[in-house]
Structure 1
């Protein structure tokens, strides 16, 4: 089995840090990720820098990233202005977020769910004309910090409406880490029946220690694209207690032991996680940097 990992530490990881990381360190994180074998990297976010100052230097980051054959850089886009910036910066992919609940959508994007779908549809057409790969992420697909439970039928109805604009990929995001494997299987299987031609991707947080179980439930249901963040850093600044993503190195350990191919070198990602802890001045949540691989790497 081949699985694609999307490295999200440069965007989703760093956006939740209390202080912005320097431009050279952001570029170094991306370079290290590329050197480790990661080929899809969510590098930047083209959002209002006043709302997410940690990612205000998106254009400068994209101007400095290593451009190598087979490496695809994604940028988060919320509106037409963001897409204009993404196109000018030379991203390969865009990721447009549609939040599953009005309460979080208004805090995160300043719009309702209905307006979010309208934005996605408009951006999808423009991005397709520009030749960009287009992912739409359904955020808070498993639960909302303000509205509580999010019904499965509601999320699948969003899938149906989103799929009408022919995305290349639909991602389910467990923004606050409340999902469980049974719900993951239900959503993935439901989405496959609604839009069987669309690639599915999953983005899990380990807030309540279910992130890795959810990742393997997604694989069992047929998903072959998973997000992960080196060091396990990250979270949503607009969702209370939305702590770190599943860690790239910890996920890789299990995938490697199961002989699931990713093309990514676990040892290199461990090294990057250790380096990242020094950059941030604090330990990262990932465990593999402390425990090491088994059998121990020579």
Structure 2
């Protein structure tokens, strides 16, 4: 349901290039990426209710949790229990992040059918986040992807630090393309390009997407994942849409960051994304009023206001 039917104010839609997708899949990461950096442990029942409310708002891809070792991300130590108690909404997908083969074992035991792996485009972040080097990380992921695909599980590849790294600075486009292609050739059905510390600008986004296409990777294999550190997440998303990308990662209420990169601020807020998609006339399937209510509810649970501009404006 669109926001016009709900009586909410809306921007005037203007004609846009035919290259814009008619419909966008929103890959909602609030329950995993949004909550993973919270210092206070969010109760399991709150996480389950959050996922239920997000599904009721019309979101159909809901990244639920991560089978990472609790030592590294204590917030997600309840991953097995969450999947066991989750009541899936009809037609919805609930991917989980899998860091290694042990994580895959846990996912298989939980009968998960949709996973994601998380690689780095830079040497330093691979060392800090994965305890590996840039090349070695692929050797770690290859058996994970091979086994998962063999079990009929869909595997998404995340690639972090695609635009800038807090230790290495700007990341060469060709380095990102080379790393991304390895994940796709490994068997990932989709590659999500992550602006982990939020330094991308529209020109950089365009350059990277053009480089992937020039290397033989169609935009139908690509998704984008922007953080809003410098207020560029929506502008960057719009650029990606104009180049044919039709899957966008976002987090309800703008929750999230990265526990291994202190300069990473919140994700693109799903409400802000939906508002822009409405103005562009792009279908998305989300009930904005219900989503805003959900983010307000979660903000109350976390004890602080939502950073989403749309949540604030409609509050």
- TM-score when scaled to structure 1? 0.95
What displacement does 1:120 show? 2.3
Tell me the C-alpha RMSD between the 2 structures: 1.4
Are residue 257 (structure 1) and residue 279 (structure 2) matched?
A: yes
1-side partners of 2:281 and 2:220: how far apart? 26
- 1:233-268: CA deviations, max 9, x gaps? 100011012110010011101111221101111111
What displacement does 1:274 show? 0.4
The structure 1 residue matched to 2:32, chosen from 1, 8, 11, is 11
2-side partners of 1:252 and 1:34: how far apart? 15
- 1:96-126: CA deviations, max 9, x gaps? 1111112111111111111211222221111
Equivalent in the alignment of 1:48: 69
Q: Secondary structure at the match of 1:73?
A: coil
Equivalent in the alignment of 1:148: 169
Equivalent in the alignment of 1:244: 266
Are residue 83 (structure 1) and residue 104 (structure 2) matched?
A: yes
- Which 10-residue stretch deviates more, 40-49 or 163-172? 163-172
Note closer, same or farther for the CA distance 1:197–1:152 as it changes in structure 2 (3 Å cut).
closer
Q: Which runs of 5+ in 2 are unaligned?
A: 1-21
The structure 2 residue matched to 1:63, chosen from 84, 87, 90, is 84
- Which 10-residue stretch deviates more, 29-38 or 154-163? 154-163
- TM-score when scaled to structure 2? 0.90
| Structure with bigger RCO (C-alpha 8 Å, 6+ apart) | 2
Equivalent in the alignment of 2:179: 158
Q: Which runs of 5+ in 1 are unaligned?
A: 294-298
Are residue 232 (structure 1) and residue 254 (structure 2) matched?
A: yes
Are residue 107 (structure 1) and residue 128 (structure 2) matched?
A: yes
1-side partners of 2:45 and 2:155: how far apart? 28
- Which 10-residue stretch deviates more, 107-116 or 76-85? 107-116
2-side partners of 1:179 and 1:244: how far apart? 14
Contact 2:184–2:190 at 8 Å: present in 1 too? no
The structure 2 residue matched to 1:116, chosen from 130, 137, 149, is 137
